[in-house]
């Protein structure tokens, strides 16, 4: 998924500088057994999963589009994307609706846990790893009550080419 | 004390643009051989109004050029000069320059001073070249004469009796500016229509007329203004206190018409109806020495009205006027006299604005008020329409769209109820349905604009282009009142411009060629718009050379496009839309038709429209564009595929059918086709195209929609037809991206999202990919048609 050069860049540049600005409030959610955090200001709302219209010839993690009060909003299942957790859809399936600079996207996760305020002392650097999430989208790690929280730059991730949510020509 | 004129700028600009457009329209339609005097007058009035406005607002550059223009026009309309095409060209050039100046003042765009002076020079030389009047009236009249024109009246040969006076007959003494003999005769003849007329000489070069009539002085002014400058007229009621038209001529050289230089009269002259009904201010500007001087620029007639009248006419829209502090104020000397004179003057005078004496108005109501009609119309238009931001309208349309969806939802739920038990509810809901539909229609119509908005810009372009190319083209439009969504109107301009230009440039032949071909020398270019079903069809038709099939084919082949001789005409003509099919020399008689045609096509397609060419070699070409009426709403047929619903634009569906097994054919065991009315159409299976598993994989169990786009037909195989409905188009790209084969999405009655199929793209996909036959779902199937395999 990611090349080593990209990772090196990410480590030397983005991840390091990202730490400085990563403090703030985070919405934490669960994917499999891992805790993730995204900036709370990017979150518009949280809703259940229903009536998704499938779209032809899309990667499996793009579930389709929903009608969010008259707006057509794509839904991405992060569990499929990162191959984490059990992929099933029932009344407990949660969709986090993100508002990324005006673009509205829904992500399916295993569950939403909490809103956390993170300060500088909570934050740790991301070590060099090969994971399903390119480390350039991870702004840092944090420890909260003995658990590791993975802080994701959700805007960067969702607008990246690999999510295939935007016409590649657009950016 | 000064009035902030800038608040009226917009009104002036709007009006000026309107007048310019009107003038251009008239100029284009004018018959040079025998010009209609009414048209000439209308053009003159337009120029005159613009000049007045420009001077009022201090746009001296505009006043200057309109002044020169007006002079020339004036001579032509007075028959001092014959109208030539040269004149028309000059007028059109002047119109462009004035438009440029308006834009310059309005938007701060650049004004090409050189062009302005060129045009001014041209107009001047034209004007002088055949001038019957030796001295330029501008110069002659360049010193404003604020004093009342006191004329030493010589012995009039006409008298009036008290008896006649009692009958309302008045003897007017009409002092004329310098006029030619011919004009004098004309004037006399014209005025003779009103009553007895006697002409006499007074002073050097000055003439005067005595008119005995029961008409008002205004009528005299109206008639005279066609021949002489109304402002230079001096009308007196013989034997009584004189009322005259303003002596300050409008020709006042622009440089002098500054606020400072202007006399109160001149200001009034240029001020349209800026004066409210404050008698003192009016009087200030107009009364002097007990004589009443009417500061009335002919045609604006407003000043002569009192406040009441102004309001009635709708002129009272300007803020109370305060005279410019620098302007010399005529004192209200002897205002008592003035008032007295006025009261007496009831029927005789071109009443002063002091017409605080309200009596003098009645008979002036019906005076000719030619130019004043214009501001009146503008004013009415303003009060009957409001300007609203387009985003507000769009928001309204969106909300109504939501309402329609909600209403559909309710309807769906209600239909599931027992009709006997819920009769009242069902009736109410059907009422709601009707109301909602009406509401939607009215809201949609807000965005509608007549095609005239687009068409009106072409006559000029065609004329210029034809002139440049040495061709003769008659330009005809029809259906200009057809309405189309504003956003489409704006986007259709460029493609249409391109098509029209192509038609003039490459379609219509030169006159000599046309003659040889036995056609009329004048080519005809028709631009038409009409409603056809749910779309609007705009056609550009020329009776020129037509497209040459062989040459296009040859050119396409040399460009490496896949072509063959057996292609249909429609397919061949469509080749000119191929990118880079720039033809130039090779396809001589259609040269350039390919240039930019791909862009045209792309634009039209992006608007959800279609473009089609019909042509006959030697007889002409029609390029037909069909567009949806609006971008926001679509008449659709919903079809189902398993549990999903898709919407197909209704206008692209030719027919729907359930095929019989014997109508299904294959080629080499693949390439499924259906035999419909003698045609073999490829079947595109939507489930295969979209990789969407479904139970129905045999076309005989499902439904075929025969679709036509870009002149190509295909049969789309779906499970079921669900129903026909209007859907509100939602963009997928707002939050997501373009999806191949899908043009948008909509929200169905149950709140779910349905995708709208992009038919041209699907037909394209069906042809270029192997979805039809090689799709996973298909290859494993056994078709009943297998026995028909050609190679079996």
In this structure, are B495 and B421 located in the same domain?
Answer: no
Question: Is residue B148 included in any domain, yes or no?
Answer: no
More confident residue, B1 or B669: B669
B351 CA to centre of own chain: 39
Question: Is residue A28 included in any domain, yes or no?
Answer: yes
Question: Is residue A107 included in any domain, yes or no?
Answer: yes
CATH for B515: 3.30.565.10
Number of residues that this document lists for chain B: 792
Inform me whether the pLDDT recorded for B779 exceeds 50. Answer: no
Residue of A nearest to B746 (CA): A72
* pLDDT of res. B224: 66
Model confidence over B214-253: pLDDT tens digits? 766 766 766 666 666 666 667 776 654 444 444 444 443 4
% of chain B with per-residue pLDDT over 70:
64
Assign 3-state DSSP to chain A and report helix, strand, coil percentages, each to 5: 25, 40, 35
What's the CA gap between A102 and B662, in Å, rounded? 54
More confident residue, B451 or A16: B451
Helix (H) or strand (E) holding B200: strand B195-201
What's the CA gap between B271 and B273, in Å, rounded? 6
B394 falls in which pLDDT band (50, 70, 90)? confident
Mutation to test the B interface, candidates A68, A72, A159, A169, most B Cβ within 10 Å:
A72
Question: Is residue A111 included in any domain, yes or no?
Answer: yes
Model confidence over B473-482: pLDDT tens digits? 889 989 888 8
User: Would you call B644 and A54 a contact, using CB atoms and an 8 Å cutoff?
Assistant: yes
In this structure, are B266 and B375 located in the same domain?
Answer: yes
The encoded tokens of residue A51 equal 């009536």
Residue of A nearest to B734 (CA): A103
In this structure, are B408 and B494 located in the same domain?
Answer: no
CB-CB contact of B687 with B678 (8 Å): no
CB-CB contact of A95 with A50 (8 Å): no
What's the CA gap between B143 and B257, in Å, rounded? 10
Residue B684: its chain A contacts at CB < 8 A?
none
Mutation to test the A interface, candidates B753, B756, B762, most A Cβ within 10 Å:
B753
DSSP B236-289: EETTS--EE---S-TT--GGG-STTT--HHHHHHHSTT---S-HHHHHHHHEET
Model confidence over B2-37: pLDDT tens digits? 556 666 777 778 778 878 888 888 887 777 777 777
Q: Which stretches of chain B sit within 8 Å of chain A by CB?
A: 398, 401-402, 405, 644, 689-692, 730-742, 745, 747, 751-755
pTM > 0.90: no
* pLDDT of res. A74: 93
* pLDDT of res. B150: 40
* CA within 13 Å, CB half, B153: 22
What's the CA gap between A47 and A63, in Å, rounded? 15
Q: Which stretches of chain A sit within 8 Å of chain B by CB?
A: 51, 53-58, 64-67, 70-74, 103-105, 164-167, 170
Inform me whether the pLDDT recorded for B407 exceeds 70. Answer: yes
Question: Is residue B156 included in any domain, yes or no?
Answer: no
Inform me whether the pLDDT recorded for B365 exceeds 70. Answer: no
Question: Is residue A67 included in any domain, yes or no?
Answer: yes
Question: Is residue B142 included in any domain, yes or no?
Answer: no
% of chain B with per-residue pLDDT over 90:
4
CB-CB contact of A120 with A21 (8 Å): no
In this structure, are B623 and B712 located in the same domain?
Answer: no
A43 falls in which pLDDT band (50, 70, 90)? very high
Looking at mean pLDDT, say which of B281-290, B441-450, B677-686 comes out highest: B677-686
User: SS3 sequence, B148-161?
Assistant: CCCCCCCCCCCCCC
Inform me whether the pLDDT recorded for A96 exceeds 90. Answer: yes
Helices and strands per DSSP (H, E), number in chain B: 27, 25
Number of Cβ within a 10 Å radius of residue B503: 27
**3-state SS class at B752:** coil
A106 pairs with which residues across the strands? A75, A97
CB-CB contact of A93 with A75 (8 Å): no
Cα B279 to Cα B337, B355, B356, B498, distances in angstroms: 15, 8, 5, 58
B478 pairs with which residues across the strands? B528
Residue of B nearest to A166 (CA): B737
User: Would you call A57 and B690 a contact, using CB atoms and an 8 Å cutoff?
Assistant: yes
Host domain of residue A137: 4-162
Question: Is residue A131 included in any domain, yes or no?
Answer: yes
In this structure, are B457 and B424 located in the same domain?
Answer: no
Facing A165 at nearest CB: one of B405, B691, B736: B736
CATH for A20: 2.40.50.180
User: Would you call B747 and A58 a contact, using CB atoms and an 8 Å cutoff?
Assistant: no
Inform me whether the pLDDT recorded for B346 exceeds 50. Answer: no
* pLDDT of res. B92: 83
In this structure, are B589 and B705 located in the same domain?
Answer: no
Question: Is residue B70 included in any domain, yes or no?
Answer: yes
Average pLDDT over every residue of B305-332: 42
User: Would you call B735 and A167 a contact, using CB atoms and an 8 Å cutoff?
Assistant: no
Inform me whether the pLDDT recorded for A81 exceeds 70. Answer: yes
Inform me whether the pLDDT recorded for B687 exceeds 90. Answer: no
Question: Is residue B303 included in any domain, yes or no?
Answer: yes
In this structure, are B339 and B196 located in the same domain?
Answer: yes
Collect contacts of A135-138 with beta carbons under 8 A, ≥24 apart: A135/A2, A135/A7, A135/A10, A135/A11, A135/A15, A136/A2, A136/A6, A136/A7, A136/A9, A136/A10, A136/A14, A136/A15, A138/A15
CB-CB contact of B171 with B212 (8 Å): yes
What's the CA gap between B637 and B632, in Å, rounded? 16
What's the CA gap between B116 and B120, in Å, rounded? 6
Chain A: closest CA distance from residue B690 (Å): 5
Residue B692: its chain A contacts at CB < 8 A?
54, 56
Average pLDDT value over all residues in chain B: 70
Question: Is residue A170 included in any domain, yes or no?
Answer: no
User: Would you call A65 and B402 a contact, using CB atoms and an 8 Å cutoff?
Assistant: no
In this structure, are B406 and B464 located in the same domain?
Answer: no
* pLDDT of res. B705: 92
In this structure, are B228 and B330 located in the same domain?
Answer: yes
Number of Cβ within a 10 Å radius of residue B434: 9
CATH for B45: 1.20.120.160
Facing B730 at nearest CB: one of A56, A72, A165: A72
Three-point CA angle B510, B512, B516, nearest 5°: 115
Residue B731: its chain A contacts at CB < 8 A?
72
In this structure, are B23 and B48 located in the same domain?
Answer: yes
**3-state SS class at B627:** strand
Model confidence over B197-223: pLDDT tens digits? 777 666 666 667 777 777 667 667 666
Residue B735: its chain A contacts at CB < 8 A?
71-74, 103-105
* pLDDT of res. B377: 44
Cβ-based contacts under 8 A for chains A and B: 71
Residue A57: its chain B contacts at CB < 8 A?
690-691, 739-740
More confident residue, B135 or B406: B406
Facing B741 at nearest CB: one of A56, A72, A104: A56
User: Would you call B755 and A71 a contact, using CB atoms and an 8 Å cutoff?
Assistant: no
In this structure, are B127 and B183 located in the same domain?
Answer: no
User: Would you call B739 and A166 a contact, using CB atoms and an 8 Å cutoff?
Assistant: no
Inform me whether the pLDDT recorded for B776 exceeds 80. Answer: no
**3-state SS class at B672:** strand
Count of domains forming chain A: 1
Least confident span in B167-171, B230-234, B705-709: B230-234
In this structure, are B512 and B605 located in the same domain?
Answer: yes
Model confidence over B515-572: pLDDT tens digits? 888 888 888 999 999 877 667 889 999 888 888 888 888 888 887 777 777 888 888 8
Residue B738: its chain A contacts at CB < 8 A?
167
Facing B753 at nearest CB: one of A66, A104, A105: A66
Question: Is residue A18 included in any domain, yes or no?
Answer: yes
Chain B: closest CA distance from residue A145 (Å): 37
Chain A: closest CA distance from residue B734 (Å): 7
Count of domains forming chain B: 5
The b/e string for B594-621 (b: 16+ C-beta within 10 A; e otherwise) is bbbbbebbebbbebbbbbbbbbeeeebb
Residue A64: its chain B contacts at CB < 8 A?
753
* pLDDT of res. A97: 94
* pLDDT of res. B504: 85
Model confidence over B56-78: pLDDT tens digits? 777 878 888 888 888 888 788 77
Average pLDDT over every residue of B116-132: 73
* pLDDT of res. A45: 92
Average pLDDT over every residue of B746-772: 78
Host domain of residue B428: 390-447
């Amino acid at each position: 998924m990611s090349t080593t050069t990209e990772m090196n860049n990410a480590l030397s540049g983005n991840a390091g500088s990202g730490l400085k600005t990563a403090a703030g409030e985070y919405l934490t959610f669960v994917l499999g057994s891992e805790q993730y955090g995204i900036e709370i200001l990017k979150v518009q709302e949280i809703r259940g999963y229903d009536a998704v219209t499938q779209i032809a010839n899309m990667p499996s993690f793009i579930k389709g589009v929903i009608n969010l009060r008259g707006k057509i909003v794509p839904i991405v299942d992060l569990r499929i994307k990162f191959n984490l957790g059990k992929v099933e859809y029932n009344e407990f399936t949660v969709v986090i609706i993100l508002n990324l600079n005006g673009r509205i996207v829904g992500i399916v996760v295993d569950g939403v846990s909490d809103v956390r305020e993170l300060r500088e002392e909570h934050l740790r650097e991301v070590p060099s790893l090969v994971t399903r999430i390119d480390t350039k989208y991870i702004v840092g790690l944090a420890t909260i009550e003995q658990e590791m929280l993975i802080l994701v730059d959700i805007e960067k991730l969702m607008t990246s080419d690999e999510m295939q949510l935007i016409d590649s020509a657009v950016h | 004390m000064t009035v902030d004129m800038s608040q009226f700028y917009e009104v002036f600009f709007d009006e000026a643009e309107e007048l310019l457009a009107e003038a251009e329209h008239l100029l284009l339609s004018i018959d040079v051989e025998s010009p209609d005097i009414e048209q000439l007058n209308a053009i003159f009035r337009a120029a005159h109004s613009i000049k007045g406005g420009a001077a009022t607002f201090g746009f001296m550059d505009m006043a200057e050029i309109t002044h020169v223009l007006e002079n020339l026009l004036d001579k032509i309309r007075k028959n001092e000069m014959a109208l030539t095409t040269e004149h028309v060209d000059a007028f059109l050039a002047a119109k462009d320059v004035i438009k440029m100046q308006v834009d310059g003042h309005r938007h701060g765009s650049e004004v090409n001073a050189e062009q302005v002076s060129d045009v001014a020079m041209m107009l001047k030389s034209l004007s002088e070249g055949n001038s019957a009047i030796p001295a330029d009236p501008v110069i002659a009249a360049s010193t404003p004469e604020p004093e009342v024109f006191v004329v030493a009246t010589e012995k009039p040969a006409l008298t009036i009796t008290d008896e006649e006076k009692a009958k309302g007959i008045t003897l007017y003494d009409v002092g004329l500016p310098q006029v030619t003999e011919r004009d004098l005769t004309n004037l006399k003849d014209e005025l003779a229509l009103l009553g007895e007329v006697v002409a006499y000489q007074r002073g050097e070069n000055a003439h005067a007329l005595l008119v005995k009539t029961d008409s008002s002085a205004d009528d005299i002014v109206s008639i005279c203004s066609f021949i002489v400058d109304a402002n230079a007229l001096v009308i007196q009621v013989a034997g009584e206190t004189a009322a005259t038209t303003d002596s300050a001529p409008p020709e006042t050289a622009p440089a002098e018409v500054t606020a400072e230089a202007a006399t109160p009269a001149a200001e009034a002259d240029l001020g349209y109806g800026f004066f409210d009904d404050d008698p003192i201010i009016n009087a200030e500007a107009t009364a002097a020495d007990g004589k009443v001087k009417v500061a009335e620029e002919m045609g604006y007639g407003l000043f002569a009205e009192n406040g009441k009248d102004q309001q009635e006419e709708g002129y009272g829209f300007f803020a109370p006027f305060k005279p410019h502090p620098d302007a010399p104020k005529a004192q209200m000397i002897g205002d008592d006299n003035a008032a007295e004179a006025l009261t007496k003057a009831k029927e005789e005078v071109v009443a002063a604005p002091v017409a605080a004496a309200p009596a003098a108005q009645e008979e002036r109501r019906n005076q000719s008020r030619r130019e004043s009609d214009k501001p009146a119309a503008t004013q009415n238009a303003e009060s009957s329409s409001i300007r609203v931001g387009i985003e507000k309208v769009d928001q309204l349309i969106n909300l109504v769209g939501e309402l329609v969806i909600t209403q559909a939802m309710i309807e769906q739920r209600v239909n599931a109820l027992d009709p006997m038990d819920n009769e009242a509810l069902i009736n109410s809901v059907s009422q709601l349905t009707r109301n909602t539909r009406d509401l939607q229609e009215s809201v949609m119509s807000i965005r509608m604009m007549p095609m005239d908005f687009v068409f009106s810009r072409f006559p000029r372009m065609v004329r210029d282009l034809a002139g440049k190319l040495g061709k003769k083209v008659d330009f005809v439009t029809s259906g200009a009142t057809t309405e189309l969504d504003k956003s489409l109107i704006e986007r259709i301009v460029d493609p249409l411009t391109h098509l029209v230009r192509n038609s003039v440039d490459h379609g219509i032949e030169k006159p000599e060629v046309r003659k040889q071909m036995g056609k009329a020398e004048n080519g005809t270019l028709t631009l038409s718009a009409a409603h056809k079903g749910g779309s609007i069809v705009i056609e550009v038709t020329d009776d020129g050379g037509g497209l040459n099939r062989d040459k296009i084919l040859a050119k396409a082949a040399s460009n490496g496009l896949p072509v063959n001789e057996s292609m249909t005409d429609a397919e061949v003509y469509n080749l000119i839309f191929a990118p880079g099919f720039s033809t130039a020399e090779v396809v001589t008689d259609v040269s350039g038709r390919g240039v930019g045609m791909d862009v045209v096509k792309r634009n039209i397609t992006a608007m959800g429209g279609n473009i089609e060419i019909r042509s006959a070699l030697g007889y002409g070409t029609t390029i037909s564009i069909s567009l949806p009426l609006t971008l926001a709403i679509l008449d659709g047929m919903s079809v189902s595929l398993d549990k999903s619903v898709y919407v197909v634009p209704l206008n692209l569906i030719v027919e729907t059918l359930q095929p019989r097994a014997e109508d299904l054919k294959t080629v080499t065991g693949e390439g499924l086709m259906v035999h419909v009315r003698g045609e073999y159409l490829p079947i595109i299976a939507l489930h295969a195209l979209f990789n969407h598993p479904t139970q129905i994989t045999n076309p005989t169990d499902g439904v075929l929609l025969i679709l036509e786009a870009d002149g190509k037909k295909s049969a789309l195989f779906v499970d079921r037809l669900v129903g026909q409905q209007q859907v509100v188009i939602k963009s997928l790209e707002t939050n997501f991206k373009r999806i191949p084969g899908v043009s948008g999405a909509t929200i169905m009655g149950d709140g779910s999202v349905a995708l709208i199929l992009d038919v041209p793209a699907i037909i394209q996909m069906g042809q270029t990919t192997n979805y039809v036959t090689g799709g996973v779902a298909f290859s494993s199937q056994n078709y009943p048609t297998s026995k028909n395999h050609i190679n079996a």
